[in-house]
């Protein structure tokens, strides 16, 4: 086969060039396979791979020696795995350098090697895939790819971009009129339903086992270490059109029109051309970063997209994002121009769960809305997020004056309300050792014995401002509640202690954590504060609606808000995979294929107990709630509703106490014993498997020994029979000789010596002696 060359690749006119100076640190692995040994060929995979290489070299200025490309014959299974390992071990790549991995070719889906797991594995198909037992070359399971990525991230950091232009739905090699794909070629094949060897790629697993990354199920797991961009959803098929991959063509067109310096991962699907019958997916914890860069957007103030639709200003955020009825916005051209002059001002006219209609406030000037515009909240409507009690007296006079100044000059403090009674407050301020200490008055917190923030703060306006602003924001997000009876009663939440097994099976690559024991959630979640004990969550959706969850932990010791799970989001252009499907769908977090890491809990020095709240947002549409996260104001290096009338636009929240305690000796001993029992069970199962294998080998050895013994016995018997026949013949000859000798003796007495000599010559002694020598 002749390799596709650059001359055959069609390029856009006047492509955008972006040059890094002096030399980009990006390293790339590009794989494109048209021709396979044992499955049908493709047309455009190699051309797509060459186009990606050309873009990196010509548009980004990446040196060719930093790009490894595997095309067709060179893309064997061994070569692909070796290329991943080479990235991991490449001394030129420093931690944090961008790594780009692109694959165009066939994908597929096969049964798990452990049928009791009941899952199927998604795989990449190398050029030399062969199902024949004598020449077997297997596909590359997603778990193996995930472990390879985990190994790279362990040594090179999490600035890794993975792009797969293939699919795993093997329901046919070409589309049909029913699915709208016509005769388009599909980048997927149906492989034989043979089960993979459980020990396949075990050397790769062993490295993944030493890695600290979570279980790397490629489509949904291990996404803290990389951003994954897939050509379509899990149930769809990636197509080729006009000799090129439909997704790759749209993706490269976007890269050549917008500089990576200006394109965040989360915006890729928004700006990419629509692909008929395909919904590309972009997943990963680092979607706020710019492409091929660990840099995030420089602005820290939350903004929302706004557009003019049928003569109305439509905001792409609603009640679930914390928008209130009277919220006021300034409008800007792009997210990075928030600190420049605004186009104008808009205010909420009609509020919905996921969007809002805006209008010009009375007396405001009209303005022309740009195609890509964002709205920045400036006044959040009439509400009190934080109720604060400050005692009377000279000791607190400066504190009260400083607080009043802040409330008068900064709208961020308008939602803080001073109350006259400490029992009505969320916080009470007291002085200890010349520092202001925040005491909880919120009964949701104090009923569990938690009384104060862990640290105090200096009583200066600047120091108070940081903590008060964070406290108001913390309570605003924590108190934003929407109890939807359908959603809240239909979603089951469970918390499990997780076990890292010593004996790793095929479906337990990477973190490989498994839940043990019963659920730890009843009315509250009680956990042991031990950084060596991981926990995971399980959500089960028993409603009739697909749900998109977001989970955040609200830390009541330092006012931080930490995301535990965030639903991938994009514009309305594409449809995302549903993380929590209706009618019994399950999402696991911290184990399985949920993608988010397991959680551990800890107590600060001097603490014996701590409390936080797990808040779960559940919506019938994907909503970007990443802006909810907040760093603690005590960190030294900190950076600056109602039920919808339509069931299609519904959302609800759950607020669950998480109680953290030091484990008492008996409890800790019981936990260790439970873990040891689980480990022993796993070790016993592994030993049983090894014993079964040894028994099988011994049985085969004994069968072979018995076969050889029978063959030897038959051979001995044959020679024994031959020897017996020879002995009989010798005896007969001996008897004949004796007869002749007797006859000769008798004749000697009667004949002359000459006759006697002639008789001796006739004796048969020479013949049978020759026969004896032959034997």
Q: Where are the alpha helices (DSSP H) in 435-481?
A: 443-446, 461-479
Q: How many angstroms separate the CA atoms of 364 and 74, rounded?
A: 65
pLDDT digits (tens, 9 = 90+) for 139-156: 998 888 988 998 999 899
- In what helix (H) or strand (E) does residue 736 lie, and over which residues does it extend? helix 665-748
Residue 425 phi/psi, 5-degree rounding, is -95, 160
Of residues 731 and 196, the one with the higher pLDDT is 731
Residue 515 phi/psi, 5-degree rounding, is -75, 145
Quote the percentage of the chain above a pLDDT of 90.
28
Say whether 304-380 and 26-283 share the same fold. Answer: no
pLDDT at 264: 87
pLDDT at 198: 65
Of residues 495 and 363, the one with the higher pLDDT is 495
Does residue 26 register a pLDDT over 70?
A: yes
Q: How many angstroms separate the CA atoms of 568 and 548, rounded?
A: 9
Mean pLDDT value of segment 703-713: 83
Burial of 134 (0-12, 13-18, 19+ CB in 10 A): exposed
Of residues 236 and 756, the one with the higher pLDDT is 236
Mean pLDDT of the residues in the chain? 79
Output the CA–CA distances (angstroms, integers) from residue 636 to 62, 296, 463, 604, 639, in the order listed: 38, 20, 12, 16, 10
3-state class (DSSP) for residue 46: helix
Architecture of domain 304-380: Beta Barrel (2.40)
Burial of 5 (0-12, 13-18, 19+ CB in 10 A): exposed
How crowded is the C-beta side of 173, counted as CA atoms within 13 Å?
8
Neighbours of 339 (CB within 10 A): 11
pLDDT at 380: 66
Instruction: Out of 11-25, 75-89, 500-514, 753-767, give the one with best mean pLDDT.
Output: 75-89
DSSP state at residue 59? I
Burial of 172 (0-12, 13-18, 19+ CB in 10 A): middle
Supply 423's token pair. 């029992």
How crowded is the C-beta side of 520, counted as CA atoms within 13 Å?
19
Does residue 172 register a pLDDT over 90?
A: no
pLDDT at 1: 41
Mean pLDDT value of segment 741-762: 67
Residue 186 phi/psi, 5-degree rounding, is -115, 135
245 contacts 238 by C-beta, under 8 angstroms? yes
Q: How many angstroms separate the CA atoms of 318 and 315, rounded?
A: 8
pLDDT at 639: 33
Q: How many angstroms separate the CA atoms of 492 and 537, rounded?
A: 10
Tokens 């893309």 — which residue? Answer: 75
| Cα 226-63-164 angle, rounded to 5 deg | 35
Supply 517's token pair. 């024991």
Mean pLDDT value of segment 340-355: 84
pLDDT digits (tens, 9 = 90+) for 89-131: 999 999 999 999 999 999 998 876 655 444 677 899 999 999 8
Does residue 15 register a pLDDT over 60?
A: no
Supply 469's token pair. 């602003």
Domain ranges for the chain, please list them.
Answer: 26-283, 304-380, 386-477, 480-663, 670-774
Q: Is residue 173 very low, low, confident or very high in pLDDT (cuts 50, 70, 90)? A: very low
Mean pLDDT value of segment 61-65: 93
Does residue 49 register a pLDDT over 70?
A: yes
Q: Are strands 373-380 and 344-351 parallel, antiparallel or unpaired?
A: unpaired
Q: How many angstroms separate the CA atoms of 104 and 73, rounded?
A: 14
Q: By mean pLDDT, which of 34-43, 208-217, 685-694, 744-753 is the weakest?
A: 208-217
Q: What one-character-per-residue DSSP string does 356-388 give? A: EEEEPPTTPPP-PPPSSEEEEEEEE-S---EEE
pLDDT at 114: 57
Supply 244's token pair. 């090129």
Q: Is residue 354 very low, low, confident or very high in pLDDT (cuts 50, 70, 90)? A: confident
Q: Is residue 217 very low, low, confident or very high in pLDDT (cuts 50, 70, 90)? A: very low
Q: Is residue 415 very low, low, confident or very high in pLDDT (cuts 50, 70, 90)? A: confident
Output the CA–CA distances (angstroms, integers) from residue 19 to 22, 57, 94, 242, in the order listed: 9, 10, 20, 31
- In what helix (H) or strand (E) does residue 103 lie, and over which residues does it extend? strand 99-104
Q: How many angstroms separate the CA atoms of 617 and 256, rounded?
A: 37
Architecture of domain 26-283: 3-Layer(aba) Sandwich (3.40)
Of the candidates 366, 453, 465, the one whose C-alpha atom is nearest the C-alpha of residue 413 is 465
- In what helix (H) or strand (E) does residue 709 lie, and over which residues does it extend? helix 665-748
pLDDT at 368: 82
Of the candidates 518, 501, 519, the one whose C-alpha atom is nearest the C-alpha of residue 510 is 501
Mean pLDDT value of segment 170-192: 59
Angle of helix 202-210 versus helix 142-156 axis, rounded to 10: 40
Does residue 640 register a pLDDT over 50?
A: no
Does residue 428 register a pLDDT over 60?
A: yes
Instruction: Return the CA Rg of the chain.
Output: 39
Instruction: Out of 92-101, 180-189, 456-465, 656-665, give the one with best mean pLDDT.
Output: 92-101
Of residues 253 and 8, the one with the higher pLDDT is 253
Does residue 162 register a pLDDT over 90?
A: yes
Supply 6's token pair. 């650059």
Supply 100's token pair. 């780009």
* Neighbouring-strand partners of residue 329: 346, 377
- In what helix (H) or strand (E) does residue 589 lie, and over which residues does it extend? strand 585-589
Tokens 């396949």 — which residue? Answer: 200
Of residues 79 and 506, the one with the higher pLDDT is 79
pLDDT digits (tens, 9 = 90+) for 718-728: 888 888 888 88
Q: Is residue 134 very low, low, confident or very high in pLDDT (cuts 50, 70, 90)? A: confident
Q: Are strands 525-528 and 651-661 parallel, antiparallel or unpaired?
A: parallel
3-state class (DSSP) for residue 185: strand
Mean pLDDT value of segment 8-28: 55
Mean pLDDT value of segment 659-673: 63
Instruction: Out of 66-70, 182-186, 481-485, 646-650, give the one with best mean pLDDT.
Output: 66-70
- In what helix (H) or strand (E) does residue 659 lie, and over which residues does it extend? strand 651-661
pLDDT at 726: 87
Does residue 209 register a pLDDT over 60?
A: no
Mean pLDDT value of segment 411-424: 79
Supply 194's token pair. 């043979």
Does residue 16 register a pLDDT over 60?
A: no
Peptide bond into 22 cis (omega under 30): yes
pLDDT at 352: 84
Mean pLDDT value of segment 205-216: 45
Q: How many angstroms separate the CA atoms of 573 and 275, rounded?
A: 10
153 contacts 213 by C-beta, under 8 angstroms? yes
3-state class (DSSP) for residue 74: helix
Q: What one-character-per-residue DSSP string does 16-47 give? A: -----SS----EEEEEE----SSS---SSHHH
Mean pLDDT value of segment 292-313: 74
- In what helix (H) or strand (E) does residue 312 lie, and over which residues does it extend? strand 312-315
Which residues, 6 or more positions from 250, have their beta carbon under 8 angstroms from its beta carbon? 272, 273, 275
Neighbours of 695 (CB within 10 A): 10
């Amino acid at each position: 086969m002749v390799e596709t060359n650059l001359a055959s690749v069609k390029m856009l006119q006047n492509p955008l060039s972006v040059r890094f100076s002096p030399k980009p640190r990006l390293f790339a692995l590009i794989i494109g396979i048209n021709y396979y040994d044992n499955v049908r060929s493709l047309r455009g995979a190699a051309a797509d791979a060459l186009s990606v290489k050309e873009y990196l070299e010509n548009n980004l200025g990446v040196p060719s020696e930093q790009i490894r490309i595997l095309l067709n014959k060179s893309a064997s299974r061994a070569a692909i795995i070796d290329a991943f390992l080479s990235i991991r071990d490449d001394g030129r790549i420093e931690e944090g350098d961008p790594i780009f991995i692109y694959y165009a070719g066939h994908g597929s889906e096969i049964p798990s090697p452990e049928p009791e797991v009941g899952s199927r594995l998604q795989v990449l198909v190398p050029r030399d895939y062969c199902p024949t037992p004598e020449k077997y070359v297997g596909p590359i399971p997603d778990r193996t790819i995930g472990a390879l990525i985990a190994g790279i991230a362990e040594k090179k950091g999490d600035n890794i971009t993975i792009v797969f232009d293939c699919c795993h739905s093997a329901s046919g090699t070409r589309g049909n009129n029913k699915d709208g794909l016509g005769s388009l070629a599909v980048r997927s094949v149906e492989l034989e339903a043979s089960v993979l060897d459980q020990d396949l790629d075990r050397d790769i697993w062993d490295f993944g086992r030493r890695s600290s990354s979570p279980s790397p199920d490629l489509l949904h797991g291990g996404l803290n270490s990389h951003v994954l961009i897939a050509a379509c959803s899990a149930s769809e098929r990636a197509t080729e059109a006009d000799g090129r991959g439909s997704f790759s063509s749209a993706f490269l067109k976007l890269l050549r029109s917008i500089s990576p310096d200006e394109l965040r991962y989360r915006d890729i699907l928004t700006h990419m051309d629509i692909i008929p019958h395909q919904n590309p997916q972009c997943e990963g914890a680092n979607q706020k970063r710019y492409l091929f860069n660990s840099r995030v957007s420089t602005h820290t103030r939350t903004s929302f997209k706004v557009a003019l639709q049928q003569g109305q200003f439509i905001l792409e955020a609603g009640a679930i994002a914390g928008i209130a009825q009277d919220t006021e916005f300034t409008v800007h051209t792009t997210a990075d121009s928030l600190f420049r002059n605004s186009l104008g001002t808009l205010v909420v006219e009609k509020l919905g769960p996921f969007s809002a209609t805006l209008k010009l406030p009375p007396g405001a000037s009209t303005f022309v809305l740009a195609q890509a515009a964002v709205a920045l909240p400036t006044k959040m409507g009439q509400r009190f997020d934080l109720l604060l009690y400050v005692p009377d007296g000279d000791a607190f006079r400066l504190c009260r004056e400083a607080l009043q100044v802040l409330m008068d000059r900064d709208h961020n403090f308008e939602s803080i309300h001073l109350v006259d009674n400490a029992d009505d407050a969320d916080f009470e301020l007291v002085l200890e050792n010349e520092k202001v200490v925040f005491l909880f008055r919120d009964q949701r917190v104090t009923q569990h014995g938690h009384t104060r923030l862990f640290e105090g703060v200096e009583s200066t306006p600047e120091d108070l401002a940081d903590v008060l602003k964070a406290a108001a924001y913390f309570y605003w997000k924590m108190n934003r509640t929407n109890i939807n009876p359908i959603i809240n009663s239909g979603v089951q939440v469970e918390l499990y202690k997780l076990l890292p097994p010593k004996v790793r099976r095929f479906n337990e690559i990477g973190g490989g954590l498994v839940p043990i024991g019963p659920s730890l959630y009843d009315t509250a979640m009680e956990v042991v504060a031990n950084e060596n004990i991981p926990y995971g969550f399980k959500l089960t959706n028993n409603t009739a609606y697909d749900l998109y969850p977001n989970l955040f932990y609200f830390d009541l010791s330092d006012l931080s808000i930490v995301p535990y799970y965030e639903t991938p989001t994009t514009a309305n252009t594409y449809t995302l995979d549903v993380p929590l499907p209706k009618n019994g769908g399950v999402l696991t977090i911290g184990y399985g294929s949920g993608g988010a890491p397991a959680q551990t809990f800890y107590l600060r020095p001097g603490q014996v107990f701590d409390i936080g709240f797990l808040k779960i947002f559940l919506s019938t549409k994907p909503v970007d709630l990443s802006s909810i996260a907040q760093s603690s104001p005590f960190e030294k290096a900190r950076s600056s509703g109602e039920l919808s009338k339509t069931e299609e636009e519904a959302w609800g929240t759950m607020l669950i106490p998480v109680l953290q305690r030091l484990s008492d000796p008996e409890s800790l001993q019981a936990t260790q014993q439970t873990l040891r029992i689980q480990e022993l069970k796993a070790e016993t199962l592994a030993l049983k498997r090894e014993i079964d294998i040894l028994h099988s080998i011994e049985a085969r050895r004994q069968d072979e020994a018995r076969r050889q013994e029978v063959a030897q016995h038959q051979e001995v018997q044959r020679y024994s029979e031959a020897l017996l026949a020879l002995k009989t013949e010798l005896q007969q000859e001996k008897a004949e000789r004796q007869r002749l000798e007797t006859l000769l003796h008798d004749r000697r007495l009667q004949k002359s010596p000459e006759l006697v000599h002639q008789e001796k010559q006739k004796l048969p002694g020479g013949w049978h002696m020759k026969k004896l020598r032959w034997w």
